[in-house]
Amino acid sequence: MTLVSETSWAHLDINEVPDIKVAPPGPKSRAMHDRCTKYFKGLSGQVKLFPVVFDYGKGCELVDIDGNRYIDFSSGIYVTTLGHCHPKISQAVATHAHRLMNCHDFTTEIKTRLVEKLAEVLPGDLTGFQFYDSGTTAVEAGLRVMRAASNGKQEMVSCFYDYHGKTYGGVSLGHVRSHVYGPTRAPGFHMVPRPDTYRPMWTKSDGSIDTDKYIEFYAQYLDKATVHNVAGFVLEPIQGWGGSVMPPDDFFPKLRAFCDENDLLLMADEVLTSWARTGKWLCMEHWDVVPDIVSIGKGFGNGFPVTCVAVREPYKESFESISASSSYGGNPMACAAALASIEVIEEENLLERSTRLGELAMKRMAKMKEEHAIVGDVRAKGCLMGIELVKDKSTKEPFDEAGKRVYQKAFAKGLAWIPAGHILRMSPPVVMEDEVLLKGLDMIDEAIGETEKELC
Ligand SMILES: Cc1ncc(COP(=O)(O)O)c(C=O)c1O
C-alpha cells in the first residue's frame, strides 16, 4: 500500500509533531488544572491519568499551554472526526452565530437543507428526523419514538457492555452503577449478551463463534423473562466504550431477521459509530442492515453539540406524538455545523479515507500482535480501532495495569488518546495522513514494548 500524504488543511509534519518541550503535564498545565479542579469535580479517567491543559487544536494536532504538541488519536472523545476546527465547519457556525442563534423548532432554511441532505445520504428509507443536543437526549428520543411506533409497548432489550448515555433511560440500557444511578434499571429494561468474536460465549465445533445460539437465546429470553410487551432491541453496532468490540458479520443480518419475524423494532445507537468514523455514514451499512430507528451524534456536528434521531418511513408519523420541541435541538448554528460536516465528508472523500486508514492500521497492529506477548487481539473498522492487552494469550486474562501504563507512556511521548482498562481505544480524525497514523501506532508499539519489559 503506498502511503498517502495529502497537503490538505490538516497536513501535519511528523518531523515537527509530536514535540514535547517539557514533560507533560508541564508546570503551566499543573497550575491551571489545580485552579480549575478546586471547583470542577468528577473528571474522567482520561484526564485524571494525564491532566494536561489544551490550548488549541488544528486538524490532527493538539497543543497544550506548556507548548507541547501532540498527535490526536481520540478526536476529543470520538467527536471531532473531521479534525479540530475544520475551517468550513467553524465558518458555518460563526455565520449563523451572527445571524440567528435560536428560534425553537420553527423551520429555517438551514434546517430544511439539512433534512433534505440527510434523506439523501442515509441508507434505505430513513427519512424522518428530529434534532437534539447530546447523544443521550437523542437516545432518549429514540426510546420514546420506539414506544410510539410499537403502539405503546414498554419493554426494551439491550446488550451487556453497551453504553447509551447517562439519563435514566440511557443508564437503564447499560451497566447500572448502583451507588450513582440508583438501585436498579428502570422497570421493563432487559439485557442480554451479544457476540464478541474474541471472547465468544457460544462456539461451533470448529471453535468459531455461533451467532445462531445468541439469537436462539434471545427467543428463549423474550418468552421466559419478559412480560411479552417488548418494543424492540437497542444496540451499538460496534461497542465503543466496551472496547471497540466488533460483532461477527452475520450477527446484525440475523438480528434484523429475528426482529422482523417477531414484530420487534431495531434501534441502532450510532452516536459513536456514524458519520465516517467506521468508513460509512452508518456503521450498520457494513452489514446491509437498515435499522428502524438510529441515534446519531458525536461527529454529526464535528464538535458542535448537535445530534439526530432518524426513523424509517413507516414510523415517521410516530414522531408527531413525541414532539420535536427542545431548547437547543436543531438551532441554526447546530444545523449549519451538521450540514457543513456532511459536505466536508463528501467533498474530501472521507468515507473512503477512513476505510483506508482502518486497513492500514489493521496491518500495523497485526504486526504488534505477532511481536508482543501481551497483545491478545487487534481490530479496526475505519478509524475505530482497538488493541486488547492480556496477561496470557491462551487464558485471555485482561491486563489492566498494562493498559494504564501504555496509555500514560504514549501520552508522555505526545499521543493524545483514550484509556480504557486493558483495551487500548483509538479514534483518530479521519483527515489524518497515512504517515501520521503510522507514527501514532509506532508510539503505541514502543509504549507496549516498554510496558512489557516492566511488567512481564
Ligand atoms: C453509543 C453511545 N450512545 C450515547 C452516548 C451518550 O452521548 P453524549 O455523551 O453525547 O450524551 C455515547 C457517548 O459516548 C455513546 O458512545
The answer to whether the beta carbons of residues 451 and 409 sit under 8 Å apart is yes
User: Which cell numbers in the block locate residue 160?
Assistant: 451487556
Tell me the CA–centroid distance for residue 297 and ligand 1, in Å.
7
Tell me the CA–centroid distance for residue 138 and ligand 1, in Å.
9
Q: Whose CA is nearest to atom 9 of ligand 1?
A: 135
Ligand 1 proximity of 299 Cβ (cutoff 6 Å): no
Give yes or no on whether 27-82+349-455 and 87-347 have one common fold: no
**Is the preceding omega at residue 428 within 30 degrees of 0, hence cis?**
no
Tell me the CA–centroid distance for residue 435 and ligand 1, in Å.
30
Mean pLDDT of the chain: 96
**Alpha-carbon span 453 to 456, nearest angstrom:** 6
**Could you tell me which residues are beta bridge partners of residue 183?**
none
Handedness of CA 408, 414, 420, 423 (dihedral sign): negative
Query: Would you place residue 1 in the very low, low, confident or very high pLDDT band (cuts 50, 70, 90)?
Result: low
Chain centre to alpha carbon of residue 258: 26
What is the predicted pLDDT for the residue at 430? 98
Tell me the CA–centroid distance for residue 420 and ligand 1, in Å.
15
Atom number, ligand 1, closest to the C-alpha of residue 270 = 1
Ligand 1 proximity of 134 Cβ (cutoff 6 Å): yes
Ligand 1 proximity of 242 Cβ (cutoff 6 Å): no
3-state secondary structure of 451: helix
Q: Whose CA is nearest to atom 3 of ligand 1?
A: 164
pLDDT in tens, 286-321: 999 999 999 999 999 999 999 999 999 999 999 999
Tell me the CA–centroid distance for residue 33 and ligand 1, in Å.
25
The proportion of the chain whose per-residue pLDDT surpasses 70, expressed as a percent, equals: 98
Burial 162-188 (b: 16+ CB within 10 A, else e): bbbbeeebbbbbbebeeeebeeebeeb
**Alpha-carbon span 138 to 123, nearest angstrom:** 19
Contacts of 297 (CB under 8 A, 6+ apart): 134, 135, 138, 270, 271, 272, 274, 307, 308
Give the mutation target among 80, 164, 235 for probing the ligand 1 site: most ligand atoms within 8 A of CB: 164
What is the predicted pLDDT for the residue at 8? 80
Ligand 1 proximity of 240 Cβ (cutoff 6 Å): yes
What is the predicted pLDDT for the residue at 42? 95
Tell me the CA–centroid distance for residue 202 and ligand 1, in Å.
29
Ligand 1 proximity of 297 Cβ (cutoff 6 Å): yes
Q: Does domain 87-347 have CATH number 3.40.640.10?
A: yes
What is the predicted pLDDT for the residue at 7? 53
Give the mutation target among 79, 161, 163, 306 for probing the ligand 1 site: most ligand atoms within 8 A of CB: 163
CATH number of 27-82+349-455: 3.90.1150.10
Q: Whose CA is nearest to atom 5 of ligand 1?
A: 165
* Sheet architecture: strand order including 423-426: 375-381, 384-389, 423-426
Contacts of 206 (CB under 8 A, 6+ apart): none
- Domain map of the chain by residue range? 27-82+349-455, 87-347
What is the predicted pLDDT for the residue at 180? 80
What is the predicted pLDDT for the residue at 420? 79
